[in-house]
Structure 1
Amino acid sequence: MAADPTPNPHATAEEVQAAYADPKLANVLYHDWEAGTYDEKWSISYDERCITYATGRFKAAAGDVGPYENAMELGSGTGFFLLNLMQGGVIKKGHVTDLSPGMVEVALRNGRALGLDVDGRVADAEGIPYEDESFDLVVGHAVLHHIPDVPAAMREVRRVLKPGGRFVFAGEPTKVGDKYARGLGRATWWLATNATKFGPLQAWRKPQEELDESSRAAALEAVVDLHTFDPSDLEDVCRSAGLVDVRATTEEFAAALFGWPVRTFEAAVPREKLGFGWAMFAYRTWQRLTWLDERVFAKVLPREVFYNVLVTGRKPG
């Protein structure tokens, strides 16, 4: 087995320029760049808060919580989904994979720190480096929209699943949801970075070099975000790959309208200015709006207007 490549967190200007014409290179550079601070940026943790979130997303999609003996995460990032599912008892043995060596390195480090039975590989989703029928479960969170050839990736998912094995992908942007989320994010960034130029609000301004780096990362992020999804179309892609019992669900409408400006604001100002009180306000408000989405809006709005789509199914048994 060939050794995995090493992380490259400091891409050259030439590499970044080349990435604009190469989505896979862009994914590697962007996620290697972000790996060391990704958990902090997205408020990812490995405690009860994120365990509850991850297991809740899994149950919302699959209708059960396992346990599954042997599972792989596709595009694992820092391990958020798989490691929290393991802590929640959904998965016993886990394998992380990602196109970014930096993300795999951080995910494995997180797994070791948690004392979990996990290993992993640098892997292209369109050519997963595991044998046929290796896993009882394949999961992913916010990964499909980064993959150039999603149908090829779903055929690979079918190949590495055991007969009857399940897949669950969560956190994918819908076509409608992506439009309002990105619009809110851009407006919040402009407002925060311009308002903090003046008067007492200057104390809330990040150093210009940090803001410039965030802007460059955002520009590259636009290259790595390749797809948005219509729930019905995503179901069709999975069925065309030979998967069965396919079902897509959606979530987060009011929660997304609140969450995207909040996350953007947090990225635009010094973290130490916000503190624990802000974190609890943001989390509790998101919880209340999620309750509203589930109890009210899910019953009256079409599934296409929600921000996240989750999809599950099985390999024929």
Structure 2
Amino acid sequence: MTTTSNEPTTDASRVDDPAPRPRATAEEVAAAFEDTKLAQVLYHDWEAETYDDKWSISYDERCIAYARGRFDAVASDQTLPYERALELGCGTGFFLLNLMQAGVAKTGSVTDLSPGMVKVALRNAENLGLTVDGRVADAEGIPYEDDTFDLVVGHAVLHHIPDVGQALREVLRVLKPGGRFVFAGEPTTVGNIYARRLGQLTWYFTTNATKLPALRSWRRPQEELDESSRAAALEAVVDLHTFEPRELQKLAREAGAIEVGVKTEEFAAALFGWPIRTFEAAVPPEKLSLQWRLFSYQAWKKLSWLDETVMRRIIPRGFFYNAIITGVKPAG
């Protein structure tokens, strides 16, 4: 891992960044239901060390292609690579690190409200040999100077931010004139309804079916299931928004962006993917063979192809699960 030394705000070793809290107390969890930013920190610190496994995140060709595909869906005509990129709400670094491996950016910075996520993202970057620095930071007050970045990206982050308009204004502030932002993985209003319901039903049936003696070996230890249930309760607090595509586009324009575009994706793929992800979270990981993971990935790819070639022609774009938005900071 390499950090920049000429700008104090980008030093990844700053001692004033708080430490991760991977095990929240009952009192902290109770307080988090009244404080959404505390909930963000507790939930994502809780998930940080297992997040990549939970969501089948990798830093190989599979997820490199996925990240590049999301970028190209709205910004395929760009001259690459960008010199310096920032990931907002980086999580484990999934989006930026894979985009860097795909040749989209040369160097990067990662920020997240969760110290645990920043720690894992920087560790992932170091393991990949990528030039990345990081900070624990609030998206509504990004700790970088004006006109710093050529590109700002994020994946599944805007729906966690209380004031999305303020965050987008901050994004435009730290972008250089002519710089671009790309945010992917944002839930649409309709998509979120069926995805959550499918996840809840899958969790209920899986955790009850594995109580049967014949399926007992497929059951996670009760303490793990209880912990997942507590995390799920916090998840309802940290997921603040869903988006109508037109309203998301309007938010970006009101923040000052130009060349704003929104695309939605995943309908059949989401109807398949959410039960699969929930099932994988509910059973012991050793039960999920390589063949299973290949099956689920190949099935998702085929359904994504179906969405793009068929469903897009007959299903309104607001019914697709994910929204991707891009925009540009005006020159001058």
TM-score, normalised by the number of residues in structure 1: 0.99
Q: State the Cα distance separating 1:181 from its structure 2 match.
A: 0.2
Match of 2:47 among 31, 34, 42: 34
Q: Is 1:240 paired with 2:254?
A: yes
Q: Distance in 2 between matches of 1:53 and 1:45?
A: 10
Q: Is 1:44 paired with 2:57?
A: yes
Q: State the Cα distance separating 1:199 from its structure 2 match.
A: 2.5
Match of 1:110 among 115, 124, 129: 124
Q: Distance in 1 between matches of 2:312 and 2:81?
A: 28
Q: Distance in 2 between matches of 1:216 and 1:235?
A: 34
Q: Distance in 2 between matches of 1:110 and 1:61?
A: 26
Q: State the Cα distance separating 1:61 from its structure 2 match.
A: 1.9
- Look up the equivalent residue of 2:280 and give its one-letter code: E
- Look up the equivalent residue of 1:19 and give its one-letter code: A
Counterpart for residue 37 of structure 2? 24
Counterpart for residue 210 of structure 1? 224
Task: Assess if the C-alpha contact under 8 Å between 1:147 and 1:226 holds in 2.
Answer: yes
Q: Is 1:222 paired with 2:245?
A: no
Q: State the Cα distance separating 1:123 from its structure 2 match.
A: 0.7
Deviations 1:226-278 (A, max 9, x none): 00000000000000001001010000000000000000000011111121111
Counterpart for residue 139 of structure 2? 125
Counterpart for residue 105 of structure 2? 91
Gaps of 5+ in 1: none
SS state at 1:189 partner: helix
Counterpart for residue 312 of structure 1? 326
Counterpart for residue 253 of structure 1? 267
Match of 1:62 among 75, 87, 99: 75
Q: Distance in 1 between matches of 2:74 and 2:279?
A: 30
Task: Assess if the C-alpha contact under 8 Å between 1:58 and 1:64 holds in 2.
Answer: no
Counterpart for residue 209 of structure 2? 195
Q: Distance in 2 between matches of 1:87 and 1:278?
A: 26
SS state at 2:58 partner: coil
Q: Distance in 2 between matches of 1:185 and 1:48?
A: 27
Q: State the Cα distance separating 1:63 from its structure 2 match.
A: 2.2
Match of 1:165 among 179, 201, 209: 179
SS state at 2:194 partner: helix
Q: Distance in 2 between matches of 1:274 and 1:16?
A: 31
Q: Is 1:78 paired with 2:92?
A: yes
Gaps of 5+ in 2: 1-7, 9-13
TM-score, normalised by the number of residues in structure 2: 0.94
Match of 1:141 among 144, 155, 170: 155
- What percentage of aligned pairs have identical amino acids? 71
Match of 2:194 among 180, 184, 201: 180
Q: Distance in 2 between matches of 1:62 and 1:299?
A: 21
Q: Distance in 2 between matches of 1:26 and 1:97?
A: 17
SS state at 2:162 partner: coil
| Greater Cα offset, 273-282 or 248-257 | 273-282
Q: State the Cα distance separating 1:302 from its structure 2 match.
A: 1.0
Counterpart for residue 231 of structure 1? 245
Please list every run of at least 4 consecutive aligned residues from structure 1 whose deviation after the TM superposition is greater than 2 angstroms: 63-66
Task: Assess if the C-alpha contact under 8 Å between 1:97 and 1:121 holds in 2.
Answer: yes
Q: Is 1:275 paired with 2:273?
A: no
